Each structure stands twice: as structure tokens, then as C-alpha cells.
Amino acid sequence: MSATGRPAESLARRLMRRVRRAGRVALVISAFAGFAGGTLLVWLVLPLVWLYGGGRDHNGRTRACQRMLARAFRVFHGYMRMMALLDARVTGEIPRRANGGPVVIIANHTTLVDVTAIAARFPNLTTIAKPGIAEGFFTRRVLSYCGHMSSGQDAIARGLCALRMSERLGQGFDVLIFPEGTRSPRGGLRPFQRGAFEIACRADVPIVLLRSTCEPSALTRDRAFWDQPDRVAILTIAPWKVLDPRDFGGDSLALQTHAEKAYKEALGLSDTPAW
């Protein structure tokens, strides 16, 4: 050890860093444990909300359940913000046609909590969840009461899911889809699938593009959920462009190609796949 005491200081710093890191891991685990507990609570409460919260109309009941779930998501994100883990900032309004009406919302999929952040801000939307989530014992009830659906395991299930989603638009619900199908690679974009664009074309509704960025990156696909950065991650999600299927002659493939190119330009990516 030198007279300046540097090694001792370094050891202290290392210890502090480890303690701080362990603290953040504990916090993020507590956040997701709270999320699981909240899911259980919502699971218990939703049948009552369904029966008494939204009148007799099926869509009204679905909307009441969606509002309830959105409140739970807001609590979750409030806790994440309070603990300086992740600050989700979903800003702006969803642009619509002059006569209103539903839209298909698409977004690049930066973090594990994009969907909860978006649904907390815009409750009356339905979305597609992976079968592993949508068919879980607790999550199945929660998602189905709120009008969400499973993406299905195969082409047939995915096709039927898309058909039902286009019907949701007819019932006045917005539909949220991540066209990459899963979380984006860090700093990149996966190829878009066509489903969201086909649904929009069939229902003749605009597609609203949301741009999602997270700095520093957190809750990405290549990191364990508890592996948080050392400082608060700022997740920013906002509408930035609207595409109307009418401008593309109802051609879902042209719409898909245009949207994917627009996202690459907006995110500063080349046409070369980034994964």
C-alpha cells in the first residue's frame, strides 16, 4: 500500500461499486416481483371489473379492464422511475383521421417494458403477446379480459390471430404490434413481418409509427432483466410518422417495405441487417 493510500481507496471504490450494483439488482428484482404480484392482484380483480366496471356492452367491459391494467402498469413504471431504474417517457398523442377511428400502432421493440409503457399511456389498445406469455396460467385471464391475444405457434394460428385483430379494429380498438416479432437487437432492427400491415390494409386504417429509444440500453434481449445499467435508463417512446394504406393502394407489402426503410433511416441504420 502506498503512502497516498490509493490501493485502499481503490478497494473501497470497488466494494462500493459492488454494493451499489447488488442494490440495483435487488431493486430491479423487487420491481419485477412487484409486477408478478400486481399480475396476481389484477387476475383476482379483473372478473369484478368485467362484471361491474364497464356496463353490459362487451367492448365497454373490455375497455374497463384495459383501464385497470393500465393503472397497474403505471404503478409498475412509477416504481421503476422512483427507484432510478428506468424512466419511461411516452409522449405525444396518437394521430387519427379527421373522423377519428382506430389505428394500427407499430413500434421498434427496444426493451422488455415497451408494451407496458405504451399501454399505460394509451390504455384502449389490444396487442399480440407471445404464446409463452399469453397462455400462462395467470396472464391468460388478464390478457383475454383486456382483449389481447396470443400470436400463436404456427402460420395457421398467426393468420387467425391477425384476422381477429382486424376485427378488433372494427370494434374501435387500436391495435399495437411490434413488426419485428420480438425485441430489437441492441442498436439495430430485425426484418419486419407483414401481419401488422396486412391488418391495417384489410381494415383500411392508418398505421402510426412509434419510435422507441432507451439510453443507456436496458432490459434488452441480450441481457438478463436484472442486469441493469449503473444509472437510470431513459426510455423514450413517441409517435413520429403516420402511413395511410390508401397512399399505397392497399398493398401491405409496399407498406411494410416503406415502414421498415423509414425506421432504418430514423434510427440511423444502414440497409444491412444489424443482428
Q: Which residues bind other proteins (CB under 8 A)?
A: 149-150, 152, 154-164, 194-195, 198, 202, 252
Q: How far is the CB of 50 from other proteins (least distance, A)?
A: 18
**Whose Cβ is closer to other proteins: residue 143's or residue 237's?**
143
Q: How far is the CB of 129 from other proteins (least distance, A)?
A: 12
Q: What is the DSSP string of 47-95?
A: HHHHHHTS-S-HHHHHHHHHHHHHHHHHHHHHHHHHTTSEEEEE-S---
Q: How far is the CB of 44 from other proteins (least distance, A)?
A: 22
**How many Å apart are CA 129 and CA 140, to the nearest integer?**
10
**Whose Cβ is closer to other proteins: residue 110's or residue 166's?**
166
For 72-85, letters b (16+ CB in 10 Å) and e give bbbebbebbeebeb
**Amino acid making up residue 66:** Q
Radius of gyration, alpha carbons of the chain? 21
Q: How far is the CB of 202 from other proteins (least distance, A)?
A: 8
Q: How far is the CB of 156 from other proteins (least distance, A)?
A: 4
Q: How far is the CB of 244 from other proteins (least distance, A)?
A: 20
**Whose Cβ is closer to other proteins: residue 30's or residue 182's?**
182
User: Cell 389490444 sits at which residue?
Assistant: 126
Q: Which residues contact 152 (CB under 8 A, 6 or more apart)?
A: 131, 158, 160, 161
**How many Å apart are CA 61 and CA 10, to the nearest integer?**
59
234 beta partners: 87, 215
Q: How far is the CB of 198 from other proteins (least distance, A)?
A: 6
**Whose Cβ is closer to other proteins: residue 60's or residue 159's?**
159
**Whose Cβ is closer to other proteins: residue 11's or residue 253's?**
253
**Whose Cβ is closer to other proteins: residue 83's or residue 157's?**
157
Q: What is the DSSP letter of 192?
A: P
Which one, of 50, 72, 31, 73, lies nearest residue 218 by Cα?
A: 31
Three-state SS sequence of 13-49: HHHHHHHHHHHHHHHHHHHHHHHHHHHHHHHHHHHHH
**Whose Cβ is closer to other proteins: residue 71's or residue 140's?**
140
For 229-244, letters b (16+ CB in 10 Å) and e give beebbebbbebebebe
Q: What is the DSSP letter of 251?
A: -
**Whose Cβ is closer to other proteins: residue 162's or residue 243's?**
162
Q: How far is the CB of 163 from other proteins (least distance, A)?
A: 5
